[in-house]
Amino acid sequence: MLDLVAVAFWAMLPAYVPNNAAVLAGGGAPIDGGRTLGGRRLLGDGKTWRGTAVGTLVGVLLAQALNLLAPAVARAVGVDLPTFPLAAAVGLALGAMLGDIGASFLKRRTGRERGAAFPVVDQLDFVAGALVCTAVLDFAWFTGTFTLPVVGVVVVLTPVLHVATNGVAYVLGLKDEPY
């Protein structure tokens, strides 16, 4: 069980960090360019080119760092940890950002203003995006790493981590809402 948690956390790190990097880097031009659909913003001012680009880059670079650390960390925790081919790293990082963007699209369509909470979707949008994108870009790595038990742990573990990290970011004044 601890092995599963270690692999799930490690494999998802390049998908966890981009959204937090985007919070720090966000600002500038919104992706939707101010466009609206049915009287509401397509995505809103919270989804910017800069936040998306920096978030993706940080996730991909983190994966490279994890590749270097993998042998030492694996030895220390006694668990076989995966390394990230570039396609998988891009899938995890870009997919996380796209999942979050997709959720904003759904939020606007359901009348939720920027920053509004969308329970469950807020906690799992980037997981769905990361898994789908990684499966598309490197299917062999995806199926070898994200076995059904690992995916199960990811789905349970991620909301817990998400609530905790966003709570901390909120208390530190880095984020406007604690979700």
The residues binding ligand CTP (CB under 6 A) are 22-23, 26, 44, 46-48, 51-52, 97, 100-101, 104, 107, 114-116
Q: Which is nearer to ligand CTP, 9 or 105 (CB)?
A: 105
Per-residue string for binding with K ion, 98-117, x by CB under 5 A? --x-----------------
Q: Which is nearer to ligand CTP, 7 or 90 (CB)?
A: 90
Q: What are phi and psi of 159, to 5 degrees?
A: -60, -35
DSSP state of 140: H
CA-to-CA distance for 31 and 37, rounded, in angstroms? 14
- Pair 179, 117: CB distance under 8 Å: yes
Q: Closest distance between ligand CTP and the C-beta of residue 102, in Å?
A: 10
Per-residue string for binding with K ion, 64-103, x by CB under 5 A? ------------------------------------x---
- Pair 53, 93: CB distance under 8 Å: no
Q: Closest distance between ligand CTP and the C-beta of residue 147, in Å?
A: 29
Q: Closest distance between K ion and the C-beta of residue 94, in Å?
A: 16
Nearest one of 158, 27, 41, 175 to 106, comparing CA atoms: 41
Q: What are phi and psi of 30, to 5 degrees?
A: -75, 145
DSSP state of 112: P
